[in-house]
Structure 1
Amino acid sequence: MRALRTLLSVAAAGACALAGLPASAPVASAASAPAAAAESVVGMYYPLAPERLMDTRSGLGGRTGPLRAREVVDLQVAGRGGVPASGVGSVVLNVTVTGPTANSYLTLYPGGQARPTASSINFAPGWLGSNNVTVKLAADGRVAIYHHDGSTQVVVDVVGFYAGSDTVQSSHGRGGQYQRVTPTRLVDTRQERGAIEENTRINRWVDLGPSSPRVRALVLNITAVAPAESGFLSAWAGDSPVPTSSTVNYGAGKVVPNLAYVRTATCHDCGPWYGVPIFSVYTLRSTNIVVDLVGVIDDGSLAGGLRFTPLSPTRIVDSRSNLGTSGALGANVTRRVVTPAALVTAATQVLALNVTAVAPSINTVVTVWPADAGLAKPTASNLNPAAGQIVSNAVLSGIGPQDAFQVHNLAGSTHLVADVVGTFQLPTGTSPAEPMRVIATGGY
Structure 2
Amino acid sequence: MSATAHAGFDWHPHFIALVDAIEASRLQGETTLCSLAAEQSEFIRFNAAQVRQIGTVSQGRLTVRLIAGARHAYSTLTLSGDRQADLAEVDEAVKVLRSALQDSHDDPHLLFDTTTWAQSLRRHGQLPDPAHLVATVTARAHGLDFVGFYAGGTIVRGFASSTGSRGWHQTDTFNFSWSLYDPSGRAIKTTYAGDQWSDAVFAGKLADAAARLPVLKLAPRALAPGRYRAYLSPQALDELLSVLNWTGGFSARQQATSSSTLYKLHTGERQLDPRVHLTEDLALGVAAGFNDDGYVRRNVTLVDAGRSVEQLTSARTAREYGLSTNGATSDEAPSSLSMRGGDLPDSEILAAIGTGLYIGNLWYVNVSDPMNARLTGMTRFATFWVEDGKIVAPIEAMRFDDSIYRILGDELERLTQAPELVLNDASYGERGTGGHKLPGLLLRGFALTL
| TM-score > 0.5, shorter chain as reference | no
| TM-score, normalised via structure 1 length | 0.25
Name the structure with the higher strand share: 1
| TM-score, normalised via structure 2 length | 0.24
Larger radius of gyration: 2
Name the structure with the higher helix share: 2
